[in-house]
Amino acid sequence: MKSRMLGYIVLAISLLLISPAGAAQQEEIPVKNMVTMVDLGAGKCIPCKMMAPILDKLRKEYAGRAAIVFIDVWEDRSQSARFGINSIPTQIFYDKSGKEIYRHEGFLAEEGIVAKLKELGVAEPAKR
């Protein structure tokens, strides 16, 4: 089952890289002067679906302090090449100056995201 899933992901990424769609919707990534976490995935990818509620929660909790962005690379195929991704989901963390600091492929739990944001100087929400 795992090899079949990996095969589908590789095929999807290959198609994305050779079939670019229109202009990028997310021109301001990383967000200027803000720590930014970008999750590149797809709405129909299982690990991506598992991450969706985590990203929604963190987007609200970190509003104004860190940007949490999701890009669906199956809907905007040009983003795969733009961010140089090999598989989905892929998370990319940028510091406040816009420099890529860390990249992770696969599901990333809430604790891992929070730890990386903290490492980049973003204070945890008071209610945590």
pLDDT digits (tens, 9 = 90+) for 39-73: 999 999 999 999 999 999 999 999 999 999 999 99
Which long-range CB contacts under 8 A does 107-114 form with residues at least 24 apart?
107/47, 107/50, 107/51, 108/39, 108/51, 109/54, 110/54, 110/57, 110/58, 113/37, 113/54, 113/58, 114/58
9, 31, 45, 92: which one is catalytic?
45
Class of domain 2-119: alpha beta
Residue 92, both tokens: 């990319």
Task: Determine the distance from the C-alpha atom of residue 123 to the mean position of all C-alpha atoms in its chain, rounded to a whole number.
Answer: 20
Catalytic site includes residue 6: no
pLDDT digits (tens, 9 = 90+) for 3-40: 544 444 433 443 333 333 333 344 689 999 999 999 99
Strands (E), the chain: 35-41, 66-72, 90-94, 100-105
> Is residue 37 within 8 Å of 67, Cβ to Cβ?
yes
pLDDT given at position 93:
98
pLDDT given at position 124:
87
16, 48, 88, 113: which one is catalytic?
48
Catalytic site includes residue 120: no
> Is residue 94 within 8 Å of 36, Cβ to Cβ?
yes
Predicted TM-score (pTM) of this structure: 0.77
Domain ranges of the chain: 2-119
> Is residue 83 within 8 Å of 26, Cβ to Cβ?
no
> At residue 1, does pLDDT exceed 50?
yes
